[in-house]
A and B are shown apart, each in its own frame.
Chain A
Amino acid sequence: MKEYKILNTRAPRVDAFDKVTGRAKYTDDLSMPGMLYGAILHSPQAHANIISIDISEAEKLPGVIGIVTSEDTLGIAYGVSPARYDEQILAQDKVRYVGDEIAAVAATTPEIARKALDLIKVEFEELPTVLDMHKARDEDAPQLHERYRRNTVQEVHWDFGDVEAAKKEADIVRTDTLTSKMQDGAFIEPQSALASFDDRGYLTMYSSTQAPHYVQRTIGMALGLPLHKVRVVKPAVGGGFGPKASCSTMELITCLLAMKTGKPVKTTFDREQVFLHSRARHQFYHKMTTGVKKDGTICFLEHECALDGGAYCSFGIATVYYAGSLLGGPYRLENMKYDGCRVVTNKPVCGAQRGHGAVIARALFEIQLDRIAEELEMDPVELRLKNVREAGETTCNELYLSSFGMKEALEAVRDSALWKKKRTDKPAGKGIGAACGFFVSGAGYPIYYSRTPHCTVITKLSEVGGGVIVKSGAADIGQGSDTMLAMITAEVLGIKLSDVKVQSGDSDLAVDLGAYSSRTTLMTGTAAKEAAESVKKQILEVIAEKTGANVEDLDIVDGEVISSKGELDIDDLRTEYRKEHRGFRGTVKSGNLTFHEASRIAFLEKGSIVGTGKYSPPKLGGSFKGAAVGTSPAFGCSAQVAEVTVDLETGQVTVDKITGAHDCGFAINRTQVEGQMEGSMMMGMGEALMEEIIYDKCGRVINSNLAEYKMPTSLDMPPLEAIIVESHEPHGPFGAKEVGEGAIMPTIPAILNAIYDATGVRIDELPVTPERIRMALKKAGK
């Protein structure tokens, strides 16, 4: 393997100091002269017609500068998938969930803005509600949207291979179900947006977003502004996990208020609003029938799925496709039938969340493999090893695996966790379980139909010499993409990490589809590599010309220009550089031409030097309907082993350890790869054991705070072991692919399989709380 100076190390993040000292500026830290504060009136009704909205009293409140209702909008529908634009900035004649936005106020203080909301009078005509996704599909269920018959946004019907024929070959056939609950993203930073609108018609919005590009487009479309006059800037962001990957109603409202009042307006969600806006994990119901041969060969999978996505479509189409398509890997499964539907109910809207669409499907399939292994009296890890795919294979739904360290990952966790010993030799209440996972490394297609490059990067040499500035639209939301871009650029240019400055997350800088579907390292990393290579080439061409060397012989290593043909004649160049820097302290000590000198001289010769890079995926996927979802230039895969102790009397679960291995292709930054793996395990553990949005019968969220919406605390987290597997992805920069989401895939089933190992009872409803375990044990007479 090539020796790298910067890549594959544990370089500190470029934003580390700002984050730990509190110097980093998040959207709510920002303010502008004359800035107003926005507040939003949310619907208290889950389903109602709006008869009237009276803002007259609110307008009279001193300090209120502007109030907007649907009358102030253009009435243009928006959403995530262009085929399902079903949202309005403010409710026009109907509200569909408790939290739907009705009106908004801009006032001189947040207190006045909130007080004004109390003075807005809304008259409703209550409508019957439907909160259950199965009932929502009944013929006589209350209808949320005219266009969605039986409240169904999307159905998917896939049939790959020949399931009926495969059924005849199967020796064991099992059917199981799993139901999950809606989850919250529970990022630490609630959404915030600060918008200003100038006299030339330019709108600038600072926002806590994962996807400045999509937000820019949605604002332009819904507010009727030319796209080039809309700028979206992402300051530091405290986590997103998916719910910040689309344009939020609050962002649009804040822009609307800024346009109406002519003043900058900032709106920041409180925690309850984060829960109401949601756009987090759907509720899933899966039913799977899997058949295998006696020797463990998987024959077929028949899969039904229903998704409850709340009141609007959001990402729902992609979610229901992902729920089916990502079972194509990591096993050799040639016959797969999938029938999925995505439903609307009178609840907060679900969208994408880490492991989009695929997490619960993966959980049930991996649970099924364990149940099948038990029936076959086969070790569940051996059953999986028998079926895993390898690099170069294509799945039944036409996903090509260009690199694939699944076997290596599974063997790594098996060995590191002492699987065989712990599986056979364990006291009562102890259990151990394993599972695998599979995920895209960047969605192969944008959300809107386009052949746009997924990202571009512009790297500019500092005209004064010595450094480069990387300009990118990529959104560092805490996952560390700025550090990745800096490391790739520094490696290519042969300079220090500290001499690379990254400017990112601004729609004025470059295009980037955003931080979702685990795309940034592979895609924006490739573009950054290309841009840096271009800059390097331009510098070396100048130096070659000036020194009479061949450009092919030149390289930049450790911040110095070197030639493979011996020493360069640099005396004239150095003299010129020194004359320019009379009075500057510090002299060049190296015998070689430094990057400082070379970059300045290149500028003197050519003017500003800019390198650009872009990433466009190759044509991917099959020709069947929905084939685009699930495609990716590469696929990550991972395996985990969870060890648990269950108190059989109370049902309390203690996770003792999770050992995970993930194939990220190549680790640009080893610490960040481990961080993503650990974060995934934590999030998966929460979803497996604790996290659940709870509604009352009126559709109100009753645990819309971080006290009663339970996630693991640091004290709940067991020791985590993160093993990096590197399979060298040919389509990724330096062989890199995803780790951000794939690593969550095995966590839930590994824990559930361990709980079964400990208790002998299967629980088909998430989260597996002590209560559900205790009741299952009771039912089993234990």
Chain B
Amino acid sequence: MLEAVSVLQSTPGAIPYAGGTDILVRMKQGIIAPQMLVDLKKVPEMQDVTPIGDYGIKIGAMTTLSELVENELIRQRSPALSQAAATMACEQVRNRGTLGGNLANASPSADTAPALIVLDTEIEYFSGEAMKKIPIADFFTGPGETVMKPGDLLVSITIPDIARKAHYIKQTLREAMDIAAVGVCLSMKIHGELSSRLVLGAVAPTPIRVPAAEALIDKGKIDEAAEEAARAAAPIDDVRSSAEYRRAVIAPLVKKAYQIVF
């Protein structure tokens, strides 16, 4: 990893390369023209899926999306992440695309992000000369932008050792090969107080948590929570959907997620 970091930091125009499912497309379209691709697929620190305590997991950034779908440990401990990954692209792309790539790419509609945010996941990335660890909710700063600077490297993510039940709903036009028009992910703690987490994807510059709606859900006021979530969104019109439609479906999707989780 340190070798990869040193190459990235010392070579102008070098960018990290994981599955290539975004980078290669953009290169072919002439949108980016990197001078060097630093292939991270075999970096040891970025590989493994390891359990933490009874409920937590640490997942290396190079874990493929297919692995998120199929890995038994991930399926048992954070099924919402497996479920979110399974909605992405197609089998061939999932075999190449990685968790780290999906997060570092920071698309507002990234499917893995909401599932990880509702699990209070932390991101470990190497920056400058040291590893840093931050809550994933603080990781995204805008469309395509994160707290990481050029030369930084996303190494792994850690889902804490707290039992949570979660569900991700992705609103798309078709069943596969589609990007979320709206994503809704809801979780609650299985033991003790509910302490729910509600995250919306594709309706703001980054995936957003809606604490006000979470508080209402914790009080059992789901209708009000759903309305609150719709108000919190700042959707845009794009090729996939209008802002008006995006806002209109948030409330019903929050209610659906609630029915499934609770």
Known: A694-B239, A703-B239. A770 touches B173 (CB 8 A): yes
Q: Which of these binds chain A: B4-12, B185-193, B216-224, B242-250?
A: B242-250
Closest to A708 in B: B239
Complex-state Cα separation, A651 to B249, whole angstroms: 9
A780 at the interface (CB under 8 A from B): no
B253 at the interface (CB under 8 A from A): yes
B161 at the interface (CB under 8 A from A): no
Q: Decide if the interface of chain A is mainly helix, strand, loop or mixed.
A: loop
- Which A residues touch B179, using CB under 8 A? 707
A716 at the interface (CB under 8 A from B): yes
Q: Are B241 and A713 in contact (CB under 8 A)?
A: no
- Which B residues touch A778, using CB under 8 A? 248
Q: Are A649 and B173 in contact (CB under 8 A)?
A: no
Q: Are A650 and B252 in contact (CB under 8 A)?
A: yes
Enumerate A680-731 residues with CB–CB distance to B below 8 Å.
689-690, 694, 702-703, 707-708, 710-716
Q: Which of A690, A712, A774 contacts B245 (CB 8 A)?
A: A774
The count of residues in chain B whose C-beta lies closer than 8 Å to any C-beta of chain A is: 19
Closest to B244 in A: A775
Closest to B242 in A: A771
B54 at the interface (CB under 8 A from A): no
Complex-state Cα separation, A738 to B165, whole angstroms: 55
B178 at the interface (CB under 8 A from A): yes
- Which B residues touch A708, using CB under 8 A? 239-240
A394 at the interface (CB under 8 A from B): no
- Which A residues touch B248, using CB under 8 A? 774-775, 778
Enumerate A448-463 residues with CB–CB distance to B below 8 Å.
none
- Which B residues touch A769, using CB under 8 A? 173
Q: Are A649 and B177 in contact (CB under 8 A)?
A: no
Q: How far is the CB of A769 from chain B (nearest CB, A)?
A: 6
Complex-state Cα separation, A690 to B240, whole angstroms: 11
B3 at the interface (CB under 8 A from A): no
Known: A649-B249, A650-B253, A774-B248. A716 touches B175 (CB 8 A): yes
B105 at the interface (CB under 8 A from A): no
Complex-state Cα separation, A673 to B174, whole angstroms: 27
- Which B residues touch A703, using CB under 8 A? 239
Known: A650-B252, A650-B253, A771-B242. A707 touches B177 (CB 8 A): yes
Closest to A713 in B: B176
Q: Are B173 and A710 in contact (CB under 8 A)?
A: yes
A73 at the interface (CB under 8 A from B): no
Q: Are B174 and A716 in contact (CB under 8 A)?
A: yes
Enumerate B71-130 residues with CB–CB distance to A below 8 Å.
none
Q: How far is the CB of A273 from chain B (nearest CB, A)?
A: 14
B171 at the interface (CB under 8 A from A): yes
Q: Are A715 and B175 in contact (CB under 8 A)?
A: yes
A652 at the interface (CB under 8 A from B): yes
Interface string of B230-262 (1 = CB under 8 A from A): 000000000111101100110011001000000
- Which B residues touch A707, using CB under 8 A? 177, 179
Q: Are B242 and A649 in contact (CB under 8 A)?
A: no
Q: How far is the CB of B85 from chain A (nearest CB, A)?
A: 16
Complex-state Cα separation, A707 to B253, whole angstroms: 24
Complex-state Cα separation, A52 to B161, whole angstroms: 68
Q: Chain B CB within 10 Å — which of A707, A771, A775 has the most?
A: A771
Q: Are B176 and A652 in contact (CB under 8 A)?
A: no
- Which B residues touch A694, using CB under 8 A? 239
- Which A residues touch B241, using CB under 8 A? 771
Enumerate A505-550 residues with CB–CB distance to B below 8 Å.
none
Complex-state Cα separation, A715 to B256, whole angstroms: 22
Q: Are A690 and B239 in contact (CB under 8 A)?
A: no
Q: How far is the CB of A522 from chain B (nearest CB, A)?
A: 36
Complex-state Cα separation, A769 to B244, whole angstroms: 14
Q: Are A650 and B176 in contact (CB under 8 A)?
A: no
Known: A703-B239, A771-B242. A712 touches B249 (CB 8 A): no
Q: Are A713 and B245 in contact (CB under 8 A)?
A: no
Q: Are B252 and A649 in contact (CB under 8 A)?
A: yes
Q: How far is the CB of A44 from chain B (nearest CB, A)?
A: 14
Q: Which of A649, A713, A770, A771 contacts B175 (CB 8 A)?
A: A713
- Which B residues touch A710, using CB under 8 A? 173-174, 178
- Which B residues touch A771, using CB under 8 A? 241-242, 245
Complex-state Cα separation, A778 to B252, whole angstroms: 13
Enumerate B154-195 residues with CB–CB distance to A below 8 Å.
171, 173-179
Q: Are B245 and A652 in contact (CB under 8 A)?
A: no
Q: How far is the CB of A778 from chain B (nearest CB, A)?
A: 7
Q: How far is the CB of A648 from chain B (nearest CB, A)?
A: 9
- Which B residues touch A690, using CB under 8 A? 173-174
- Which A residues touch B242, using CB under 8 A? 771
- Which B residues touch A712, using CB under 8 A? 174
Q: How far is the CB of B177 from chain A (nearest CB, A)?
A: 6
Q: Which of A651, A689, A715, A770 contacts B176 (CB 8 A)?
A: A715
Q: Are B174 and A774 in contact (CB under 8 A)?
A: no
Q: Chain A CB within 10 Å — which of B174, B240, B242, B244 has the most?
A: B174
Q: Are B249 and A650 in contact (CB under 8 A)?
A: yes
Q: How far is the CB of B235 from chain A (nearest CB, A)?
A: 12
What are 24 A-to-B residue pairs whose CB atoms are below 8 Å? A649-B249, A650-B171, A650-B249, A650-B252, A650-B253, A694-B239, A702-B239, A703-B239, A707-B177, A707-B179, A710-B173, A712-B174, A713-B175, A714-B176, A715-B174, A769-B173, A770-B171, A770-B173, A770-B249, A771-B241, A771-B242, A771-B245, A774-B248, A775-B248
The 7 closest A-B pairs by CB, nearest first: A649-B252, A715-B175, A771-B245, A715-B176, A713-B176, A716-B175, A650-B249
Contacts A714-B176, A769-B173 supplied; 5 other A-B pairs, CB < 8 Å: A649-B256, A690-B173, A770-B173, A775-B245, A778-B248
